[in-house]
Amino acid sequence: MRIVLLVFFFLFSVPALALDKAAVEKLAAGEADERAAAVSALVAEGDQRAAEFLQAVAEGDVQTVEVKGVRRVFIVKGGQAVDALTGEKVDPVPEGAEDVVANNRLRKEIEGGLAALKLLAPERETRLAAAKELASGADAAMLPLVKKALEKETDAAIKPVLEVIAASMEVKGGSKEQRIAAIRRLADSNSPNSRTLLAEAATDADADIKMEAQKSLREVQGKLAWGERAGLLFAGVSLGSILLLAALGLAITYGLMGVINMAHGELIMIGAYTTYVVQVFFRKSDYFDWYLLAAVPASFMVSAAVGMVLERVVIRWLYGRPLETLLATWGISLMLIQSVRTLFGAQNVQVENPNFMSGGIQAFAGVVMPWSRIYIVVFAALVLFLMYLLLTKTRLGLFIRSVTQNRDMASCVGVPTGRVDMWAFGLGSGIAGLAGCALSQLGNVGPDLGQGYIVDSFMVVVFGGVGQLAGTVYAALTLGFANKFLEAVSGAVIAKIVVLVFIIFFIQRRPQGLFAVKGRAVEA
Amino acid sequence: MKRRMFVKQLALAASVAAIGLGSTSLYAQGKTVKIGVLHSLSGTMAISETVLKDTVLMAVDEINAKGGVMGYKIEPVVVDPASNWPLFAEKARQLITQDKVAVTFGCWTSVSRKSVLPVFEELNSLLFYPVQYEGEEISRNVFYTGAAPNQQAIPAVEYLMSKDGGSAKRWVLLGTDYVYPRTTNKILRAFLKSKGVAEADIMEEYTPFGHSDYQTIIAKIKKFASEGKKTAVVSTINGDSNVPFYKELGNQGLKATDVPVVAFSVGEEELRGVDTKPLVGHLAAWNYFMSIKAPANDKFIKAWTAYAKAKNIAGHKDKPLTNDPMEATYIGIYMWKQAVEKAKSFDVAKVTAAMAGQTFAAPSGITSTMDAKNHHLHKAVFIGEVKADGQFNVVWKTKGPVKAQPWSPYIEGNDKKKDEPALMAEKKK
What is the tens place of the pLDDT at every residue in B401-427? 999 999 998 888 888 888 777 544 454
- Confidence at A426, pLDDT banded by 50, 70, 90: very high
Which of B50, B208, B248 lies at the smallest CB-CB distance from A346? B50
- A315 has pLDDT over 60: yes
pLDDT of residue B120: 95
Q: Where are the alpha helices (DSSP H) in B139-214?
A: 153-161, 179-194
Are A195 and B205 within 8 A, CB to CB? Answer: no
Closest alpha carbon to B385 in A103, A448, A272: A103
User: Across the strands, what pairs with B369?
Assistant: B359, B378
Are B216 and A353 within 8 A, CB to CB? Answer: no
Angle between helices A264-283 and A207-250 (to 10 degrees): 110
Are A488 and B219 within 8 A, CB to CB? Answer: yes
Residue type, B61: D
Are B46 and A346 within 8 A, CB to CB? Answer: yes
pLDDT of residue B424: 46
Preceding peptide of A92 cis, ω within 30°:
yes
Residue A436 forms contact with B (CB below 8 Å)? no
Percent with pLDDT over 90 in chain A: 23
Q: Classify A486 as helix, strand or coil.
A: helix
Are B212 and A443 within 8 A, CB to CB? Answer: yes
Mean of the pLDDT values across residues A456-466? 86
3-state helix, strand, coil in chain A (%, to 5): 70, 5, 25
Are B393 and A103 within 8 A, CB to CB? Answer: yes
What residues of chain A, 203 to 222, have a C-beta less than 8 Å from chain B?
A: none
pLDDT of residue B124: 94
- Residue of chain B whose alpha carbon sits nearest to that of A31: B164
The mean predicted confidence, pLDDT, of chain A is: 83
Full DSSP string of A297-325: HHHHHHHHHHHHHHHHHTGGGGTT-HHHH
What number is the ipTM of this complex? 0.78
pLDDT of residue B429: 41
- B126 has pLDDT over 90: yes
- A348 has pLDDT over 60: yes
Are A105 and B215 within 8 A, CB to CB? Answer: no
Size of interface A-B (CB pairs under 8 A): 168
- B26 has pLDDT over 50: no
pLDDT of residue A10: 44
- B6 has pLDDT over 60: no
What is the tens place of the pLDDT at every residue in B232-250? 999 998 877 888 888 888 8
pLDDT of residue B273: 64
Kindly list the residues from chain B whose CB atom is less than 8 angstroms away from the CB atom of residue A103: 164, 281, 385, 393, 395
Which of A232, A367, A443 lies at the smallest CB-CB distance from B244? A443
Sign of CA dihedral A300, A301, A302, A307: positive
Note whether A315 and A429 are within 8 A (CB): no
Q: Which of A56-65, B243-252, B283-292, B387-396 has the highest mean pLDDT?
A: B283-292
Mean of the pLDDT values across residues A57-71? 83
What residues of chain A, 42 to 61, have a C-beta less than 8 Å from chain B?
A: 60
- Length of chain A measured in residues: 524
Quote the DSSP letter at residue A356: G
- Confidence at A375, pLDDT banded by 50, 70, 90: very high
Q: What angle do CA A192, A197, A200 make, to 5 degrees?
A: 125
Phi-psi region of B209 (alpha: psi -120 to 50; beta: other; left: phi over 0): beta
Sign of CA dihedral A489, B234, B41, B147: negative
CA dist B240 → A347, A349, B46, B335 (Å): 10, 11, 11, 31
Are B251 and A368 within 8 A, CB to CB? Answer: yes
Between B317 and B59, residue with greater pLDDT: B59
Residue A139 forms contact with B (CB below 8 Å)? no
Exposed (0-12), middle (13-18) or buried (19+): which is A320, by Cβ within 10 Å? exposed
pLDDT of residue A377: 94
The mean predicted confidence, pLDDT, of chain B is: 87
- Confidence at A341, pLDDT banded by 50, 70, 90: confident
Q: Classify B350 as helix, strand or coil.
A: helix
pLDDT of residue B428: 46
Full DSSP string of B109-160: SHHHHHHHHHHHHHTT--EEE-S--------TTEEE-S--GGGTHHHHHHHH
Which of B212, B222, B243 lies at the smallest CB-CB distance from A452? B212
Kindly list the residues from chain B whose CB atom is less than 8 angstroms away from the CB atom of residue A229: none
pLDDT of residue B104: 97
- A34 has pLDDT over 90: no
User: Across the strands, what pairs with B383?
Assistant: B285, B396
Are A341 and B42 within 8 A, CB to CB? Answer: yes
Closest chain A C-alpha to B175 CA, distance in angstroms: 11
pLDDT of residue A5: 47
* A-interface mutation test, from B49, B212, B238, B391, most A Cβ less than 10 A away: B212
Kindly list the residues from chain B whose CB atom is less than 8 angstroms away from the CB atom of residue A101: 385, 393-395
What is the tens place of the pLDDT at every residue in A484-501? 899 888 888 888 889 889
CA-to-CA distance for B130 and B328, rounded, in angstroms?
Answer: 5
Are A228 and B212 within 8 A, CB to CB? Answer: no
User: Across the strands, what pairs with B360?
Assistant: B368
- B328 has pLDDT over 50: yes
pLDDT of residue A58: 84
Are A232 and B251 within 8 A, CB to CB? Answer: no
- Residue of chain A whose alpha carbon sits nearest to that of B178: A493
Q: Which of B18-22, B124-128, B133-137 has the highest mean pLDDT?
A: B124-128
Task: Output b/e per residue, B316-345; b: 16+ Cβ within 10 A.
Answer: beeebbbbbbbbbbbbbbbbbbbbbebbee
Mean of the pLDDT values across residues A437-456? 87
Are B393 and A101 within 8 A, CB to CB? Answer: yes
Closest chain A C-alpha to B271 CA, distance in angstroms: 9
CA-to-CA distance for B155 and B153, rounded, in angstroms?
Answer: 6
- Confidence at B16, pLDDT banded by 50, 70, 90: very low
Mean of the pLDDT values across residues A392-400? 91
Percent with pLDDT over 70 in chain B: 91
pLDDT of residue B25: 39
Are A370 and B278 within 8 A, CB to CB? Answer: no
The residues near A17 (Cβ < 8 Å, ≥ 6 apart) are: A9, A47, A49
Query: What contacts 24+ positions apart, CB below 8 Å, involve A30-37?
Result: A32/A105, A32/A106, A32/B163, A32/B164, A33/B163, A35/A106, A36/A105, A36/A106, A36/A109
Residue A104 forms contact with B (CB below 8 Å)? yes
- Length of chain B measured in residues: 429
Closest alpha carbon to A450 in A421, A471, A429: A429
Which of B166, B243, B257 lies at the smallest CB-CB distance from A444? B243
CA-to-CA distance for B88 and B180, rounded, in angstroms?
Answer: 18
Closest chain B C-alpha to A507 CA, distance in angstroms: 24
pLDDT of residue A405: 80
Residue A445 forms contact with B (CB below 8 Å)? yes
Residue A239 forms contact with B (CB below 8 Å)? yes
Note whether B420 and B138 are within 8 A (CB): yes
> What residue ranges in B252-296 does DSSP mark as E strands?
261-263, 283-286
- Residue of chain A whose alpha carbon sits nearest to that of B221: A488
CA-to-CA distance for B239 and A443, rounded, in angstroms?
Answer: 13
Closest alpha carbon to A333 in A274, A275, A270, A246: A270
Sign of CA dihedral A81, A85, A87, A90: negative
Q: What are residue A209's phi and psi, to 5 degrees?
A: -60, -40
* A-interface mutation test, from B173, B249, B254, B257, most A Cβ less than 10 A away: B257
Kindly list the residues from chain B whose CB atom is less than 8 angstroms away from the CB atom of residue A341: 42, 46
Phi-psi region of B315 (alpha: psi -120 to 50; beta: other; left: phi over 0): left
What is the tens place of the pLDDT at every residue in B147-184? 999 999 999 999 999 988 888 999 999 998 888 999 99
pLDDT of residue A137: 65
Which of A104, A111, A370 lies at the smallest CB-CB distance from B252? A370
Within 10 angstroms of residue A30's Cβ, the number of other Cβ atoms is 15
Mean of the pLDDT values across residues A446-462? 87
H or E element: which one contains B53?
helix B46-65
Which of A231, A234, A346 lies at the smallest CB-CB distance from B47? A346
Q: Most distant CA pair in chain A: distance in Å?
A: 96
Within 10 angstroms of residue A109's Cβ, the number of other Cβ atoms is 23
Q: Classify A82 as helix, strand or coil.
A: strand
- A417 has pLDDT over 50: yes
pTM equals: 0.81
* A-interface mutation test, from B84, B159, B207, B213, most A Cβ less than 10 A away: B213
Closest alpha carbon to B404 in B419, B417, B386: B419
Q: Where are the alpha helices (DSSP H) in A251-287?
A: 264-283
- Confidence at B8, pLDDT banded by 50, 70, 90: low
Between A364 and B209, residue with greater pLDDT: B209
CA-to-CA distance for A211 and B47, rounded, in angstroms?
Answer: 56
- A397 has pLDDT over 80: yes
Mean of the pLDDT values across residues A75-79? 81
Which of A228, A359, A446 lies at the smallest CB-CB distance from B253? A359
CA-to-CA distance for A135 and A115, rounded, in angstroms?
Answer: 10
- B230 has pLDDT over 90: no
Are B50 and A239 within 8 A, CB to CB? Answer: no
pLDDT of residue A78: 76
Kindly list the residues from chain B whose CB atom is less than 8 angstroms away from the CB atom of residue A139: none
